[in-house]
Structure 1
Amino acid sequence: GYEAHALTVHDARRFAEAGKPWRWRPVTELVERLRAAKDEGEVAAIRAAALLAGEALRRTLAQVRPGMTELAIAGLLEGALRQLGSEGHPFPTIVASGPRSALPHARSSGRIVATGEWLLLDFGAQVDGYCADITRTVVAGARASERQRALYGVVYEAQRRARAGVHAGMSGRDADALARDPIAARGLGEAFGHSLGHGLGLEVHEAPRLSKTNAEPLPGGAVVTVEPGVYLAGEGGVRIEDDVHLPPDGAAAELLSDGLTDLVEVV
């Protein structure tokens, strides 16, 4: 069997030229499905990575001030991750400020962070090869405005609801709805433009998908992200992301990251 999305033309030709009378049979995401359920050691590694990431963020925020660039803050965060023992960065660290925080997949830039702006930090850590993925959104250098508190509250409540309700056996679609429905009820459904989450493991994006297009049941033992967001062009965005383990018996999800999601004002 072979996985069509992973077999290159080069390798297919090499196997064909080997001269053996193989019969080719395509399979779909076989390895990914097998990897989706994590054993105790894998869960422990992801938990360690997630808690390490949370500590790195705390050390970084203690040094963040308006007037710094996004890239400088990303450098502080990546340095703290390394100092605490992260083996690498599973993906390029995202630090997005002000209106750039409305870009869900922004790249850290030379933009200078201004007082009172949103500051979104999406980052990961790696322990024993396994990845954690965390996002926090804070207010830089000032107390949050009423508007900021209201917007943050929408995402906060949606994330708490999803964390409390997600479990093995429910569909990826139903998991996504746990956060999407309350956001939509506040008139912000169109501002939540990505899925609720994804699996974690040796790669930062693995099966399963917590998506409105996924009718498949979430496998027991999976570790997934829970990361709703609201993004308003020209204003900014809020995303809150934690990592959870789905027990095989369908019990409530186990929080692996620190879960410290109250609105932080970096003053």
Structure 2
Amino acid sequence: MKKRIAALRDKLIELDLDGIIINNPKNRYYLSGFTGTAGTVLITEEEAVLITDFRYIDQANNQATDFKVVEHGNYKIETLKKELQRLEVEKLGFEACYESYQQYNQYQRKLDFLELIATENVVKKMRKVKDESELNTIQKAVKITDDAFSHIIEYIEPGMTEKEVSLELEYFMKQKGASAKAFDFIVASGKRGAMPHGVATDKEIAVGELVTFDLGCVYQRYNSDLTRNLIIGAAPTVKQQEVYETVLEAQLAAIDAIEPGKTGAEIDQVAREIITEAGYGDDFRHGLGHGVGLEVHEGPRLAQNKDKELKPGMVVTVEPGIYLSGWGGIRIEDIVVITEEGCDILTEASKELIRV
């Protein structure tokens, strides 16, 4: 945490700020390690302060060991005001993308002795590059998800509903140590596979249908994300095999092209060109990938309009897809970490078109 606080202090100097307040729960945890649901982090050049209420004082002292923990009473803003005055803060940054207009108005009224300055995703941008402890935690989340997919291959049978399969995935993950699912799982069978976000329904899975699975878990607050496909009780048709091989070729080529210094748009284009050349360009309509960490969708993005360069330590998904209305769809997704020379694939689940 000390390195993260020091990095944020460097940002304060760049932005000409005396301090910054953080209320976004993910950013608050990232800086302090505090997992409570209520609290404000205040970082200045001299101090790191965590303001919370009586419910969380012991927890805050145990978790936020690099912080001065301050208990507030009925009105947190009054305690914040005292701390800002004590630390002689004159220019205070706040998270423009998180604070409400109502909260901003309160700051203006109660903190009229200082200048409020909106900041844009200062901590979120820091979070794009993961440290070793974060990478280790993400790898464990990925392992749980890989194992869940291996389990479902043995579990699934024709006639089961998508919801039954989804519930089994969630149960398995929680048995293996996950605290929650990362999002509502996609279990999209048959024609429903044409919906990129086709969450599980009461539809029964039939023989000969393709099933797209998009699943992920939360492990120690970090997320995983995996997409794979199965075919139920029959050999794939020529078209099913063709579409699958096209998506797989695009995904492998994009992974092979990843390296520091390239942009998200450049990597996206590698996969998009292969799918377009196969005649399915209009059927791949989302970005190639996204960052994964404390949020299952965060920066950086691999997409057509993303011109930021990739850096070592960034963790992203690579997930091209083809979606054909009235027929179905295929998507293949891995999580990779950018390295000094390219990338390492964290996902280990088989990428064969598995028949079960």
TM-score (norm 1): 0.96
Q: Matches of residues 107-122 of structure 1 in structure 2 within 5 Å?
A: 107-122=199-214
The corresponding residue for 1:243 is 335
More deviation in 212-221 or 115-124?
212-221
State the 1:52 CA deviation.
1.2
The corresponding residue for 2:177 is 85
The corresponding residue for 1:261 is 351
Q: Matches of residues 48-197 of structure 1 in structure 2 within 5 Å?
A: 48-197=140-289
Q: CA offsets, 1:118-158, max 9 Å, x none?
A: 10110102222110100101111211111111110000111
> Separation in 1 of the partners of 2:304 and 2:354?
30
Secondary structure, aligned partner of 2:336: strand
> Separation in 2 of the partners of 1:21 and 1:144?
70
**1:169–1:220 CA contact under 8 A, matched in 2:** no
Q: Which runs of 5+ in 1 are unaligned?
A: none
The corresponding residue for 1:9 is 101
> Separation in 2 of the partners of 1:168 and 1:127?
27
Structure 2 letter corresponding to 1:255? I
RMSD over aligned Cα atoms = 1.2
**1:60–1:80 CA contact under 8 A, matched in 2:** no
State the 1:259 CA deviation.
4.7
**1:208–1:219 CA contact under 8 A, matched in 2:** no
Q: CA offsets, 1:208-249, max 9 Å, x none?
A: 0101011111232110000000000000000000000001x2
> Separation in 2 of the partners of 1:30 and 1:178?
30
The corresponding residue for 1:220 is 312
> Separation in 2 of the partners of 1:137 and 1:119?
5
Q: CA offsets, 1:47-88, max 9 Å, x none?
A: 111111011111112111111111011011111111111111
Structure 2 letter corresponding to 1:99? K
> Separation in 1 of the partners of 2:199 and 2:171?
17
> Separation in 1 of the partners of 2:166 and 2:250?
27
Q: Which has the higher contact order (CA 8 A, sep 6+)?
A: 1
**1:94–1:122 CA contact under 8 A, matched in 2:** yes
The corresponding residue for 2:113 is 21
User: Is it true that 1:35 corresponds to 2:127 in the alignment?
Assistant: yes
Secondary structure, aligned partner of 2:230: strand
State the 1:20 CA deviation.
3.1
Secondary structure, aligned partner of 1:142: coil
**2:231–2:354 CA contact under 8 A, matched in 1:** yes
Secondary structure, aligned partner of 1:24: strand
> Separation in 1 of the partners of 2:178 and 2:112?
44
More deviation in 27-36 or 188-197?
27-36
Secondary structure, aligned partner of 2:226: strand
Number of residue pairs aligned between Structure 1 and Structure 2: 264
**2:174–2:180 CA contact under 8 A, matched in 1:** yes
